A = this chain, B = another copy of it.
């Protein structure tokens, strides 16, 4: 039913070997005249290549598999954009599988879906896999690289923003702008990434001789609700004059809830975010934030998959602070 190289071969009066060589552009292995015949036949017949067959025999692949966090914050989209951009320039295909938020079953399923085919390698975006899934991934033998996730082990390669340093820098920024009682909201204290950020935050406090007070840390999941809840807790049990937020959504939650309580931003309360998606600039006041280079992470990740790297490879991508109006000048 479907057109194959056999059909082309017949139509063009050559062998399938020749068809294959022409279609793959293996220069100098065929006469121009032959090539013309073949291309003409292929076009006429409406030939479309069966990549499954090719991959089966070559055991190679031009496809990058992406396993992606599917949640409300959309930073992952920026990373995927970068991956696609790099892929396009190198004639690579990209297939994406969403892995939900923190569901090990979905994660496993996603890994299976991608690795059932001989992909060039795997990029895991915004997810820290459950231990058993990380192990499963490693067993497949495919090259893999985490993007926007951090690991302690030196046997898991990753590309990310330096979480410790960015949290440190953000906290220092708040201190430099007159804040002393600084809360941290919407960051998971389960993930290694979260732990690094918390460590950076605490280190900056210490460095400025600020005593961390209980309840300043309000862990969460980068969600809007986390921000709302944090302010509620702060109003009850402690008082802060600034909040460093895990995501723009969290910052938005903090902002709205703070207003509910009659707090002026940035006077009564400074707000800073660590996402730096587009949203930050659309909120009024614009949210001061750590702007991560998500696109670059994607590009870099796709680039790495075309090289070879060892398991202790990791790279921190530079970030910058974009000053908005949610913090004092």
The chain A residues found within 8 Å of chain B, CB to CB, are 2, 46, 48-53, 55-56, 63, 70, 72, 74, 77, 80-81, 84, 88, 93-98, 100, 106, 109, 113, 115-118, 139-141, 224, 249, 252-253, 256, 259, 278-279, 282, 284
Contacts and interface: CB of A to CB of B under 8 A. Distances in A.
28 contacts: A2-B141, A48-B116, A48-B140, A49-B116, A50-B56, A50-B116, A52-B52, A52-B117, A53-B56, A63-B113, A70-B77, A70-B84, A74-B77, A84-B98, A84-B100, A88-B106, A93-B113, A94-B98, A95-B95, A95-B96, A95-B97, A96-B96, A96-B98, A117-B117, A224-B278, A253-B282, A256-B282, A256-B284
Most buried by B among A74, A139, A284: A284
A55 B116 CA distance: 11
A18 B106 CA distance: 30
A221 B248 CA distance: 23
Contacts of A81: 70, 98
Contacts of A224: 278, 282
Contacts of A72: 74, 77, 278
B113 A48 contact: no
Contact of A96 (B53, B97, B109, B253): B97
Nearest to A72: B278
Given A48-B116, A70-B81, A117-B117, 14 more contacts: A46-B139, A48-B115, A50-B116, A50-B118, A51-B116, A51-B117, A52-B118, A56-B56, A74-B74, A93-B113, A94-B113, A95-B96, A252-B282, A253-B282
A112 to B, nearest CB: 8
Contacts of A115: 48
B70 A88 contact: no
Contact of A249 (B70, B95, B282): B282
A328 to B, nearest CB: 21
Give this chain's copy count: 2
Nearest to A81: B70
Given A74-B74, A256-B282, A95 B113 contact: yes
B80 A70 contact: yes
A228 to B, nearest CB: 10
Nearest to A260: B284
Contacts of A2: 141
Contacts of A106: 88
A97 B97 CA distance: 9
Contacts of A140: 48
A156 to B, nearest CB: 20
B282 A259 contact: no
Contact of A98 (B80, B256, B278): B80
A150 B115 CA distance: 35
A259 B113 CA distance: 49
Contacts of A118: 50, 52
